[in-house]
Amino acid sequence: MATATDTPGERSLARLPSDTVRSFKAEFSGEIVLPSDPPYDDARRLWNGMIDKYPAIIARCSGVADVVAAVNFAREHEFSVGIRGGGHNVSGAAVVDGGLVVDLSAMNGVRVDREAGTVRVEGGATLGDVDRETQLFGLATPLGAVSQTGVAGLTLNGGYGHLSRQYGLALDNLVSVDIVTADGRVRTASAARNEDLFWGVRGGGGAFGVVTSFEFDLHEVGPDVYAFFAWFRGDEAHRAADRFREWTETAPRTAGALAVAAHVPELEEFPESAWGETAVAFLGSFRGDLADAESVFEPLRTGLTPIVDFSGPMAFTDLQSMLDEDYPDGLRYYWKSIYVTGVTDELVDVMVRYNESAPSELSTVDLWHLGGAVGEVPQDATAFWHRDKPYMFAVEANWEDPADDDANVTWAREAIADVQALSVGAGRYGNFPGLNEDPGTLLYGENAARLGELKATFDPENLFVGNEALSERADD
């Protein structure tokens, strides 16, 4: 019998007869983890240390049959479902208090089809898993910029990264997906099969089911690229923003960069005299003739005083993993974003002001350069709406002490609110969602209504609750 002191997972599990769970375990090939099991506390944790949820059951799936069994069990016994892919989940939607977690982390296989020019990726794989296999053949698909990121969450919500301006979003390179929907059926969705579902998964997050595998187009990339990573003094932020704005107007598609307002980390790679000072950095890459790389990025350096410059040729896999150490497991994270239509002086003022007032020196305020191939896809061709936006303003609140949660979350939300109040602010990005507190219209624009209809069709009982913006529409 459950008591008032039990966790949500224990209370939810207590309503089931013990033989029901035993029967589920008997038909499951992977591992079922319950609140009383020793692995439970580790199994329920995500990369974001701020997330502290207690599911009733964690189903560590070994294959698609396990996913089907878990979805059917959850539906039949009225458990909400969270979907854990690579586990690099900033909003915490992968784990549900009192619900069932479909954990795909053991399903991380990657297979390259050189003849077809595609790669098949299981739902638990990370970017690093994919890059390791595809770069054997000098190939890549556009994914993110941190190798520990899960492919599933990144792709289903969009997927910006180093290759986006040249080859589009991660979801733009999808050929097909295999997905287990709320009725327990395994469906293949592509441009020729289950077209509505394929439209919805490309931008609608995990609202429609558990994607067990992704098929992506591949492109010739690497093995070496040019990485641009230079740091400048914080008092040069406005001058740096001018350089960035001018550069983005004519930058080739084979190059991309983002501007980052930060504090100089206390690392031996940086001058000790600059530790803790405000700074502005540029991070980007170039994938053309490496002999041209210096001239491509030189306008971003002009008139600025470098603190340190790490730029130079490197392996594409090293570029993809160079930020991994900045985002360790267990740190506390709250990331939120807003698209902007231009880089105005007022926007830069906000960027500088919030960098200076950040409660944690681990936090950053970022300005992404978008456009290129992403903007050439019609807005209604996929569920992803904000293709017409040339920039994205993102706040990464990163900190260590739980006592500082409120201060850091408030700081990030106020920064986004100040940008929203400017004439250039519009829309939200699903992979930097805060804690999923924004309405669907901000994420999906004019695609929101169609997404709500698809949610009602494929998940009428709102089994998959991770995407709150669509879950609310399904409940209307």
Nearest residue to 123 (alpha-carbon basis) of 216, 211, 218, 58: 211
Backbone angles phi, psi at 167, to 5 degrees: -125, 5
Whole-angstrom distance, CA of residue 447 vs CA of residue 92: 24
User: Which CATH number fits the domain 8-103, given the four candidates 3.30.70.1560, 3.30.2420.10, 3.30.43.10, 3.40.47.10?
Assistant: 3.30.43.10
pLDDT per position in the chain (476 positions), as tens? 455 568 999 999 999 998 999 999 999 999 999 999 999 999 999 999 999 999 999 999 999 999 999 999 999 999 999 999 988 889 999 999 999 999 999 999 999 999 999 999 999 999 999 999 999 999 999 999 999 999 999 999 999 999 999 999 999 999 999 999 999 999 999 999 999 999 999 999 999 999 999 999 999 998 999 999 999 999 999 999 999 999 999 999 999 999 999 999 999 999 999 999 999 999 999 998 999 999 999 999 999 999 999 999 999 999 999 999 999 999 999 999 999 999 999 999 999 999 999 999 999 999 999 999 999 999 999 999 999 999 999 999 999 999 999 999 999 999 999 999 999 999 999 999 999 999 889 999 999 999 999 999 999 999 998 766 665 544 44
Backbone angles phi, psi at 3, to 5 degrees: -125, 170
* Token digits of residue 302: 């002009």
pLDDT at 476: 46
pLDDT at 4: 53
* Radius of gyration for the alpha carbons in the chain, expressed in angstroms and rounded: 22
pLDDT at 472: 52
Largest CA distance in the chain: 72
Can you give the residue ranges of every domain in the chain?
Answer: 8-103, 110-220+445-475, 224-426
pLDDT in tens, 229-256: 999 999 999 999 999 999 999 999 999 9
CATH of region 110-220+445-475: 3.30.465.10
Backbone angles phi, psi at 378, to 5 degrees: -55, 145
pTM: 0.94
Whole-angstrom distance, CA of residue 153 vs CA of residue 48: 14
CATH of region 224-426: 3.40.462.20
Whole-angstrom distance, CA of residue 123 vs CA of residue 105: 8
Does this chain's domain 110-220+445-475 share its CATH topology with 224-426? no
On whether the CB atoms of residues 58 and 13 are closer than 8 A, the answer is no
> What HEC string does the chain produce?
CCCCCCCHHHHHHCCCCHHHHHHHHHHCCCEEECCCCCCHHHHHCCCCCCCCCCCCEEEECCCHHHHHHHHHHHHHCCCCEEEECCCCCCCCCCCCCCCEEEECCCCCCEEEECCCCEEEEECCCEHHHHHHHHHHHCEECCCCCCCCCEHHHHHHCCCCCCCHHHHCCCHHHEEEEEEECCCCCEEEEECCCCHHHHHHHCCCCCCCCEEEEEEEECEECCCEEEEEEEEEEHHHHHHHHHHHHHHHHHCCCCEEEEEEEEECCCCCCCCHHHCCCEEEEEEEEECCCHHHHHHHHHHHHCCCCEEEECCEEEEHHHHHHCCHHHCCCCCEEEEEEEEECCCCHHHHHHHHHHHHCCCCCCCEEEEEECCHHHHHCCCCCCCCCCCCCCEEEEEEEEECCHHHHHHHHHHHHHHHHHHHCCCCEECCCCCCECCCCCCHHHHHHHHHHHHHHHHHHHCCCCCECCCHHHHHHHHC
Nearest residue to 363 (alpha-carbon basis) of 465, 281, 261, 287: 261
Question: What does the chain come to in residues?
Answer: 476
